[in-house]
Amino acid sequence: MHQLGAGVPFEGALIALVVGGMVVVLVMALILGAKRERERTEALARFAAERGLRFIGEDRALDERFAAFDPFAVGHSRRGLNLMEGDVRAGGLRMTLVCGDYQYKITRSTGKSTTTTTYNMSFLAVRPVLELKEDLTVRAEGMIDKIGAFVGFDDIDFESSEFSKRFHVKCSDRRFAFDLFDPRMMEYFLSVQPPRLQARSGVLLFDRGVRRWEPAEFAAQFGWIDGFCARVPRHVRAARLPASEQADDPVLHPPMPEHSA
């Protein structure tokens, strides 16, 4: 005769086994995640050392330095991580550089429950010796931008219809935007998938949305920005570079080609 409750010990053991297995999987995931984070940090530290940059593990005041840029004034618990700083040259222009990761949190409440989401992203910011006093934003055109254009909130349109369709450009001085985005610069943007560009108070900040870059991606962004700076038009450089920098600028004074004997 079957006895009521005879299967309870077995069911309890099975539940305990399943819960225990889930705990083991969770602990292993945390251990592997911490290991990947440590390896990524070590790789970024090596990357910085190879390029003569200072490596800073954490900066809780980073949001204050870049408060004028999106999304550095959003949310709370904001901090910079895995930061690299130093003086570099890109496209022939001298500049100071800060790059790395940025983390912030947003807390949302429905009245019944509260949730906090953590966002992580990578960025690269430079302050070139080139005078830049305009506010500028260049990013991929989105559906909201198309709706805004339909109701009259338009951005700057350029001679290249393809460039105007693909990119949303806002600038406090339209003339500067036209000067900077000459045919050569527009072709560069159209040939690749560029990062978002923001310019505020002489600083250029580049990002690719809310996602982190692997060490190899930082190298790729360095290369893209080098190409961007190399394509800053000659007349912009002549008007905005300090006189002390113009003599050594490779665009204003290209090196003479070597002639073989």
pLDDT digits (tens, 9 = 90+) for 48-85: 999 999 999 999 999 999 999 999 999 999 999 999 99
Determine which helix (DSSP H) or strand (DSSP E) holds 46, and give its type and residue range: helix 8-50
Note the pLDDT tens digit of each residue in 169-217: 999 999 999 999 999 999 999 998 999 999 999 999 999 999 999 999 9
- Confidence category of residue 16, pLDDT binned at 50, 70, 90: confident
Q: What is the pTM of this model?
A: 0.84
CA–CA distance, 70 with 205 (Å, rounded to integer): 10
C-alpha count within 13 angstroms, C-beta hemisphere, residue 113: 2
- The two tokens of residue 96 are 């100071």
Query: Taking a C-beta distance cutoff of 8 angstroms, is the pair 97, 53 a contact?
Result: yes
Note the pLDDT tens digit of each residue in 130-157: 999 999 999 998 756 555 444 445 689 9
- Who contacts 231 (Cβ-Cβ below 8 Å, separation ≥6)? 91, 184, 185, 188
